[in-house]
Chains A and B, each alone.
Chain A
Amino acid sequence: MGKPLGKTTVFLSGNEAIARGAYESGIKVAASYPGTPASEILEHLALFDEVDAQWSVNEKVAFEVALSSSIAGVRSIYASKHVGVNVAMDALMTSAYTGVGAGFVIVSADDPGIHSSQNEQDNRLIAKVAKIPLLEPASPAEAKEFIKEAFKISEKFDTPVMLRLTTRVSHTKENLIIQERKNFPKKNFTIDTAKYVMVPKNAYRKHALLEKKIERLQKYSEKSSLNKIELNDRKIGIITSGVAYLHVKEMYPKASFLKLGFSFPYPQDLIKEFSKSVKQLYVIEELEPFLEDELKRLGVSFKSKHPSFRVGELRPEYIPLIIRGEKKPRELNKTQKPVMCPGCSHRPVFWVLRELQLIVTGDIGCYTLGALPPLSSLHTCLCMGSGVTFLEGFKRNLDNKVVGVIGDSTFVHSGITGLINMAYNKTKGVLIILDNSTTAMTGSQPHPATGITIKGGKTKKLVLEDLCVSCGADTVEVVEPHDIKKLEKLIKKRLDSDTLSVIIARSPCQLIESKKSPPPNYSIEKCKKCDICLQIDCPAIKKDVDGFIEIDKTLCTGCNLCVKVCPFGALKTGIKK
């Protein structure tokens, strides 16, 4: 959390502001699984002694822990990235039926532009499908205030409330004012089977009540102070929400606005009233036609963005194009590709997989970078856990040699069931757990197999070796991935045996446990310019103008993978001075 500038002014990101706002709202419980752009919400909540914060095994677990805490009588929050909400969907859909106890808020951080995700889904649609109220702050300062309102709505209407952020809210910082925490007396849990036991008879009744509740929420959204009409130049009126409002305001500061902060249930009368007060009405929103579709249903005439703008995030310079009805311009992507860090323990594994020319079913984490050339050794990546389940589908239907890869955190999140499924359904195969002992891609968060909690305390450590045996793996072996000869031999051996084998390639991430050895010595005389050392894609090795290589001694960790792959002995292990 940013140090205060004065007593009350701080400079916070949207995620820090959500954490602060939730803290000020008196929350007691917070649960999440890390994922960009949401991770920092829980990391900052964990800094408050009054908040029982946890990294859960996955989002479904997090959701249920947070919701049940609310039912048990304390304010609670669930936070995750947009695709994390998918994992929690089973619980989320029925939570609209049960309602809550004390206030319960679902924070969904969407990623328009797919900066660090596997898809670009618009979770506003999930609020609509689930029939829960939706709030859309535009900035960190708003996020902090909206979450307070979210808790009030949750308690007033006995419903989960979704607060939807996007990357440009979560990862924007601005100066804002903080307030004191308000504590609320704990409510008691009262046995109420009609409310909390969702068997058909009760659920049927609850569905009917939910339909009535959403009508009442609709009336409430009409009067909500989070929806604002700004009347200026009446020639152009714009209906917008979230960060899109700020992009439009930037480019058309004198236009009239209906800014929807409480966007679902739609404030229909407010929309109609605003549409009548302006000459030309536009709807400008990011991603899906969530507001547009409602205006069409209401029979309000308006102009909106060309469908090409449904893909990717909005940028201020796009707004005039949208107003003019133009298509989205083609963007040339000349950005530098991301790469595994120097010394990364995933690199030797992908080098070996490349050498063995295997088909590799992959998963989500830093190691997904193994798909990029020149390593090019990861061939599928769908969602969390699919490295294991795709291995099963491929093994049962392909004649090629296949291995599956999955990270340690990802395996615990959703790989375990896939492994049990393989054993149960008699599928043989080789699964490599790329165990760098952290959740690296999202910022090095701990998980059950690290034995550390979000607050840094020690806890029961999940032993992956034992777990895999219990799941039904025939063999489980742990190997140091930097020993590529041993690793290659082991993979070959297991590929040739008719077993369900788990290989745990274990070496802690460089970002949590830096292992620095001297950089290798390079002999120009022995170098044949074969470029094999460049194929390992290490950021510390660059080709110079003469075709020889240069080793960046600041970046190099001395992992020696380049020494091991050099066929001419031009690279030799560096000597400690």
Chain B
Amino acid sequence: MMNKTVNILFCGTGGQGVLKASELSAWALVLEGYHVKKSEVHGMAQRGGSVESHLRFGKYVFSPLIPKGEVDFLVSLHENEYRRLEDFLHPEGRGFLPYLKKAEKMLKDKRYLNTFMVAVLSKSLPVSEKNWIKALKHIFPVRFFEENKRVFFMARDVVEK
């Protein structure tokens, strides 16, 4: 169990599946036994506008918001949103931006972009494969589970190479 709180910032625009990406990761971490806090805004803020979700985990998490400059992983589904929030990254934090371009090339259906990017993130998180599958099963309706699982493991392979 990690003692330090780890900070993940998900971003993109409304309709891209940012909140789903964050929810999926949150469930995997909860299943792994961490204390998790996830914070976001709904309503007016969601209609195609900028969307952010703060996800923090560790032994015990205090603030639901990641302090500026403390983001360990910035998972963006949109390049502009990445640029907007780059300042939030810790100097040693990771951005995964090259994978966004890779995803655009590899995915036939861009609705799976969120699952692809979570898979990229997953290689940096202390969560077992078993719990990722459990989380995928929990988050997606039965009819979308297999395709999401396929995209998830395809993207994990991309990171390994």
Contacts and interface: CB of A to CB of B under 8 A. Distances in A.
A442 B41 CA distance: 12
A233 interface: no
Interface string B43-83: 11111111000000000011111111100000000001100
Given A168-B64, A316-B67, A317-B68, A115 B44 contact: yes
A327 B84 CA distance: 23
A185 interface: no
A116 B38 contact: no
Contacts of A37: 41-43
B37 A172 contact: yes
A207 B108 CA distance: 69
A443 interface: yes
A315 B68 contact: yes
Given A116-B44, A441-B43, A338 B14 contact: yes
A115 B40 CA distance: 10
B64 A175 contact: no
B142 to A, nearest CB: 14
Contact of A171 (B31, B42, B66, B69): B42
B13 interface: yes
B35 interface: yes
A335 B43 CA distance: 15
Interface string A524-552: 00000000000000010000000000000
Nearest to A140: B37
Nearest to B34: A175
B10 interface: no
A115 B41 contact: yes
Interface string A469-502: 0000000000000000000000000000000000
A5 B30 contact: yes
A321 B41 CA distance: 25
A366 B49 contact: no
B80 A336 contact: yes
A115 B61 CA distance: 23
Contact of B44 (A5, A36, A39, A172): A36
A339 B48 contact: yes
Interface residues of A, number: 45
Interface string A1-32: 00101000001000000000000000000000
A43 B7 CA distance: 30
A334 B48 contact: no
Interface stretch (A186-194, A246-254, A387-395): A246-254
Nearest to B61: A174
B150 interface: no
Interface string A329-356: 0000011111111000000000000000
Contacts of B37: 139, 172-174
Contacts of B9: none
A34 to B, nearest CB: 10
B47 A168 contact: no
A554 interface: yes
A79 interface: no
A442 B36 CA distance: 26
Contacts of B62: 246-247, 249-250, 253
A535 to B, nearest CB: 16
Interface string A305-330: 00000000001110000000000000
B59 to A, nearest CB: 12
A315 B49 contact: no
A113 B68 CA distance: 17
A243 interface: yes
Interface in A49-92: none
Contact of B27 (A11, A337, A554): A11
A11 B64 contact: no
B42 A443 contact: yes
A252 to B, nearest CB: 10
Contacts of A555: 15
Among A139, A171, A243, A341, the most chain B Cβ lie within 10 Å of the Cβ of A171
Contact of B81 (A246, A251, A336, A341): A336
Contact of B47 (A117, A174, A366): A366
Among B31, B64, B66, the most chain A Cβ lie within 10 Å of the Cβ of B64
Nearest to B45: A115
Contacts of A338: 14, 44-49
Nearest to A249: B62
A135 interface: no
Given A115-B44, A339-B48, A443-B42, A172 B110 contact: no
A501 to B, nearest CB: 30
A369 interface: yes
A315 B36 CA distance: 18
B47 A334 contact: no
Interface in A355-394: 366, 368-369
A338 B27 CA distance: 28
A36 B50 CA distance: 17
Given A139-B64, A250-B67, A341 B48 contact: yes
A410 interface: no
Interface string B67-109: 1110000000000110010000000000000000000000001
A284 to B, nearest CB: 13
B43 A442 contact: yes
A362 to B, nearest CB: 14
Contacts of B61: 174
A6 B26 CA distance: 16
Contacts of B63: 243, 246-247, 249-250, 316
Contacts of A5: 30-31
Contacts of A253: 62
Interface of A: 3, 5, 11, 36-37, 39, 113, 115-117, 139, 167-168, 171-175, 243, 246-247, 249-251, 253, 315-317, 334-341, 366, 368-369, 441-443, 539, 554-555
15 contacts: A117-B44, A168-B65, A171-B42, A172-B38, A173-B37, A173-B39, A174-B38, A247-B62, A249-B62, A317-B67, A335-B50, A338-B14, A339-B47, A341-B47, A554-B111
Interface of B: 13-15, 26-27, 30-31, 35-50, 61-69, 80-81, 84, 109-111, 138
Given A11-B30, A316-B65, A341-B15, 9 more contacts: A246-B62, A249-B62, A315-B68, A316-B66, A338-B44, A338-B46, A338-B48, A339-B47, A555-B15
